[in-house]
Structures are given as C-alpha cells and as structure tokens.
Structure 1
C-alpha cells in the first residue's frame, strides 16, 4: 500500500537503544490504518547506529536509512523530512520518550484538517515521569519564557513529537536555518507565520537516561539560536513588506470532532 505517514528518527550514537525504539515504532505503526514508514537519519554517528537501522529488513513497517553529515538535530530532521513525499510527515526522538500512544490522536487531528500536531508535556492531560536535575529544569523554564514572543500560545516547543501535513512541512522545513536543538522553535514559528492551524495534544512522556543534550553547551547554543531565529524571521518579513501577516491558530484539542468544530468556527 502507498505510504501515507513518514516518521523521521534522528540518531547520533544511539546504537544502544535504537533497536528498542525501532521495535516499539514498528509495533505501533503496524496497528494504524495509515500505511507508514520509518526514516532513520544517521547524524554522523561514531557507533553502530547505521548498522542497527540497516538490520531491519522485511519488517511490517519499512525502515530506511539516510545520512546527514551536518551536525545537529535540526539538520538531521530537516534531511529526513525533505527526503519524504508522503501526505503526513514528522519526527520523534530516538529515545522514544513520548509514548507511541500519541500516534492515533495525532493522526486523527491531521485527518480532521489540522495542519500541525505537536505533543505537549505542558498539556493538562499529559502524564510526565521526569528526572531532570534542578539546573536543567531551571534552564528549560527560562527557555520556555524566552520563546513566548517567537511562538505565542505554544506551551511546549521542545517535546520531540511533531507531525505535519505535506504543505506545512515544506513551508516549515525547506527554509529552516537552525541546525541544533532549538530548531523546533524556528519550525513552529514558520508554521504559525504560514497561518497554519496547530494543535497541541497530551502525551505520556518519560525521561530516558542517555540524552546527548548537554545542559551547559547545548543550553547556551539554544539560547543563542533564539536570537538568530528572531533575526532571520525579521529579515524575511522585511523582504516581504506588502504581505499581510497571517494569524496563527493554536488548538487545545484531542479529538477530530473538536478539531472540526474549531475549523468551522475559525
């Protein structure tokens, strides 16, 4: 059957847990009524991540491997998204911290006409098991505060579970400039500026040890990236002085019926 959903998984030195992640994704995606594929993007790993991905042949859900030598999670996800042509595309993290139970409600929203669906740990119905230290929690709070002007109305920009219809994915990822961990902010800002309808859905999220995110090094880079994103978007807006700004829509919905109601009232 023709694939309708592509799930991009960026990996860098994830050989130890990639097999568990792929097994979980294959099991979950095979149960959906949307034919799907998994696209593993190896971000210049020094371990056997690529070999693990290549070992998945003739599985219930196809797994293919791409290479991205440009360092950064944003660069890897962009490579994967733009290498697909399916109706829906998005990404999840290699640690599968967001439970696969988020796939059915995500697809229900996209089928209902929502353009972008993102998992939100800040959603009142989310179930979170986190073990971050005080330094990382404080940094995350400050980062959320710093993103408010760039992506108003979005409570959680950094949850690694985001999916889009094809047109919205192209609008967000083709001009993407941010290559590091803050790329989500630029993606969401571009989604909003395109006038897309976006829904935040609750997730079950578990902090999985072994993240490649370094709170000091990557935290500093992420804050610096916000200034660059702001400048890039401002320059692009200045180059289109006669364009009428789009008004983004952000839904707090979990069912397609509610999404349709919001679309009718928009």
Structure 2
C-alpha cells in the first residue's frame, strides 16, 4: 500500500490545518524548528500537515525536508523560484487545501502554544488571527538595538496607515480561514519584508477583521535584517503597496508578484 500523503500509515484523512514554513538557507534552524512544530501538531486531535517552501536555498534546506522521517504529521517540500519571503508564503498558501491554514517562521520565535489559541479563534468564526508582540498580554524577549527598535516604531506607524487597528503586522505567526487565504494569496504581489502588510490589508479589504492574540516571542539569533541597508527598500515597498491597493485591478496575465527591493524578508 503506498504511503499516505497526509501522515502515517494509519490515516488517510485530509488535514484540517496546514502550516506553511517559508525557508531560505535554514539548514541550521529548520531541523529544530520543524521538530518543535511536528511535536506540537502531533498532539492535535485532528489531522495536520506542514508545507516547507524552499526559496532558492543554496544549503541543505531542501535535503533536510526530503529526508524528514514519516510520522503522524505529514511534512512535504515545495519550491518557490521567485525570491522573497512574500513569494514563498504566497506559493505555500496556494498549495494548501485545508479548511484552516497558517504560516510560521522557521526559527519558531513565537511559542507554539499560541496555535491552540489561534485555532480556537478560527473555530469560533474569526477568519484572520495573527500573533501580536504589541498585545498587552504578550511576553517579548527582545535583544534588538535602539536603532532597530526606532526603525520598527517608524515601520509600525507607516503600516498602520495601510492596515488600521493592527498593532503588529510583522509577527511571523498568522492563521486564516483557508478559502480566504487562498483567495488573497492570488492577489499578492509584494515579495519582500512588507508582504504581511499587503496580505492583511487585502484581508481587511475583503471584509475580514484581523484578530490579534498575545504570544510569547523570543528574539532568535541569525537575523538578516539591517536597518542601515534595508530601510529604503522597506519604505519603497510600503509605497508600492499603497499605490497598488488604490489602483484598478490588473489583468490576469500580469505578474502576481514583484521582486523584493532588499531585503528578501526573512528574519
């Protein structure tokens, strides 16, 4: 009997929840993060699956996923040739088919116990549930420099113009009604750091409220973000999003994504 694409040999039920992990050169952080996520999902009382999107990695990221041991949580690899975390997340969301979907960062900086809260909110009728480090009940371990904290404050102010009422657009922990996520993913064109802003803005534009939940968040080593090198590109991305959201819909033949203006958006 051929292996089930949805988990171990004992079940062929399709997943109720699929989680996407965008990954670019994550051979060091992915094994531990994937182990944590699979352990968490294995305790769920329903079928789950993980999709790792290899975003042109030049290390062993793809090999790690291909050789991942089979277990109660299905783990599969897909590739995204377009550069940028936004493009990778879009590719992963479009490859899902579950009623509920989400994405998390490979470093698992957000404590995975928040999955229980997010999924409960989705079951109660929320369509977009995101982790927020700015939530009053969140616990945030932050080792960022004062310069980076100032840059984050400025970004939140600009993002707030596009997604009003959301205090943290950038936490890499977001869950959705699956149908809504796939509908919105088709429209996404931002590939870099600010892709979350376009994603949430389009969800709000479809009439879906964004529910922010508290998280435990740990500042993980290995960040690729540099305020001096990346600030200009981020501001330009936000400007493109602002223009795009106010423009008439483009023809279907137009590209669905834009190359990132540095950085590619990975933490």
Does the TM-score normalized on the shorter chain lie above 0.5?
Answer: yes
Moved more, 165-174 or 60-69: 165-174
- Alignment partner of 1:134 out of 146, 159, 163: 146
- Find the counterpart in structure 2 of residue 244 from structure 1: none
1:79 aligns with 2:91: yes
- Alignment partner of 2:199 out of 173, 187, 193: 187
1:39-75 deviations in whole A, cap 9, x for unaligned? 0001101110111111113122111001111110000
Matching of residues 42-53 of structure 1 within 5 Å: 42-53=54-65
Aligned pairs, how many? 239
- When the two structures are superposed, what TM-score results if normalisation uses the length of structure 1? 0.87
Matching of residues 142-161 of structure 1 within 5 Å: 142-161=154-173
1:237 deviates by 7.4
Alignment check: 8 A CA contact 1:78 1:173 kept: yes
RMSD over equivalenced CA pairs, Å: 1.5
1:223 deviates by 1.4
1:83-127 deviations in whole A, cap 9, x for unaligned? 111101110001100011110000000001100000000000001
Structure 1 CA distance, aligned partners of 2:202 and 2:248? 11
Residues 43 and 238 (structure 1 numbering): CA distance in 2 closer, same or farther, change over 3 Å?
closer
- Find the counterpart in structure 2 of residue 258 from structure 1: none
Residues 162 and 70 (structure 1 numbering): CA distance in 2 closer, same or farther, change over 3 Å?
same
Alignment check: 8 A CA contact 1:171 1:190 kept: no
Matching of residues 1-266 of structure 1 within 5 Å: 1-236=13-248
- Find the counterpart in structure 2 of residue 249 from structure 1: none
Describe the SS at the equivalent of 1:37: strand
Alignment check: 8 A CA contact 1:171 1:191 kept: no
Structure 2 CA distance, aligned partners of 1:98 and 1:185? 19
Structure 1 CA distance, aligned partners of 2:165 and 2:172? 18
Residues 27 and 85 (structure 1 numbering): CA distance in 2 closer, same or farther, change over 3 Å?
same
Higher helix share: 1
Structure 1 CA distance, aligned partners of 2:57 and 2:219? 22
| Runs of 4+ residues over 6 Å off in structure 1 | none
Structure 1 CA distance, aligned partners of 2:229 and 2:46? 39
Residues 235 and 68 (structure 1 numbering): CA distance in 2 closer, same or farther, change over 3 Å?
same
- When the two structures are superposed, what TM-score results if normalisation uses the length of structure 2? 0.86
Structure 2 CA distance, aligned partners of 1:85 and 1:217? 38
